[in-house]
């Protein structure tokens, strides 16, 4: 039994990222029989506007990645893996202070992915371009057209809408020159 409405919303967020959101809503009837109405109704189902907003922003980033590679929504696990692997490589290359500053600008749900399994005592990990790309490849177990470098650029470009220009310049200024060449 679910204890609270917040817990329901949190479960819905988790399930929705894995593409199972409608399946968890047994007995729920969408108000109309078209996909636009169904999608609109799914967007507001958490019952808490901050959760709905962060789910929407996260889904937008994942959709950007999927569109760049022509992946159907059923391959959401790939776009999630791409987002996660790039975020973790970037996070581990930054200092603790810069990691926190970048995180402060990310949408709440993406911020949680960013911090997942983080060990601040082990950073920054010195990585040049090839080590950075290898790190992303290690966490991204799928074949991707064009290789890992365009994937990194696609993910970062999708995240850039949430970052100020000044913060992104701070992030890049702490990177080795050969790595900044692949960061949009």
Cβ contacts of residue 175 below 8 Å, gap of 6+? Answer: 93, 183
**CB-CB neighbours of 5 under 10 Å:** 11
Distance CA 112, CA 139 (A): 17
Q: What percent of the chain has pLDDT over 90?
A: 67
**Residue 5 confidence (pLDDT) above 80:** no
Pick the more confident residue, 12 or 135. Answer: 135
Please write the tens of the pLDDT for every residue from 88-100.
999 999 999 999 9
Pick the more confident residue, 26 or 79. Answer: 79
Pick the CATH number of 49-180 from 2.30.110.10, 1.10.490.110, 3.40.50.1400, 3.90.1570.30: 1.10.490.110
**Residue 147 confidence (pLDDT) above 60:** yes
Please write the tens of the pLDDT for every residue from 53-76.
999 999 999 999 999 999 998 999
Name the band, by pLDDT with cuts 50, 70 and 90, for residue 3: very low
**Mean pLDDT, residues 137-155:** 95
Which pLDDT value is given to residue 62? 96
Name the band, by pLDDT with cuts 50, 70 and 90, for residue 7: very low
Please give the DSSP secondary-structure letter assigned to residue 142. Answer: S
Which pLDDT value is given to residue 24? 37
Average pLDDT, the chain: 81
Which pLDDT value is given to residue 11? 40
- pTM of the predicted model, to two decimals? 0.75
Ordered by start, the domain boundaries in the chain are 1-47, 49-180
3-state secondary structure 20-63: CCHHHCCCCCCCCCCHHHHHHHHHCCCCCHHHHHHHHHHHHHHH
**CB-CB neighbours of 66 under 10 Å:** 19
Name the band, by pLDDT with cuts 50, 70 and 90, for residue 46: low
Which pLDDT value is given to residue 38? 45
Which pLDDT value is given to residue 174? 87
Q: Which two tokens stand for residue 182?
A: 């692949």
């Amino acid at each position: 039994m679910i204890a609270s409405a917040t817990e329901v919303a949190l479960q819905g967020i988790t399930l929705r990222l894995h593409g199972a959101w409608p399946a968890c809503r047994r007995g729920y009837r969408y108000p109309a029989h078209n996909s636009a109405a169904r999608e609109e109704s799914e967007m507001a189902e958490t019952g808490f506007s901050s959760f709905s907003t962060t789910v929407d922003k996260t889904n937008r980033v994942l959709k950007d990645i999927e569109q760049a590679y022509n992946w159907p929504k059923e391959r959401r696990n790939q776009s999630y893996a791409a987002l996660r692997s790039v975020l973790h490589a970037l996070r581990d290359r930054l200092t603790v202070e810069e990691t926190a500053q970048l995180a402060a600008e990310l949408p709440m749900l993406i911020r949680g992915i960013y911090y997942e399994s983080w060990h601040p005592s082990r950073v920054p990990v010195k990585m040049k371009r090839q080590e950075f790309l290898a790190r992303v490849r290690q966490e991204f177990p799928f074949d991707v057209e064009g290789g890992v470098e365009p994937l990194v650029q696609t993910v970062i470009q999708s995240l850039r809408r949430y970052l100020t220009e000044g913060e992104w310049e701070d992030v890049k200024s702490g990177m080795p020159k050969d790595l900044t060449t692949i960061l949009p």
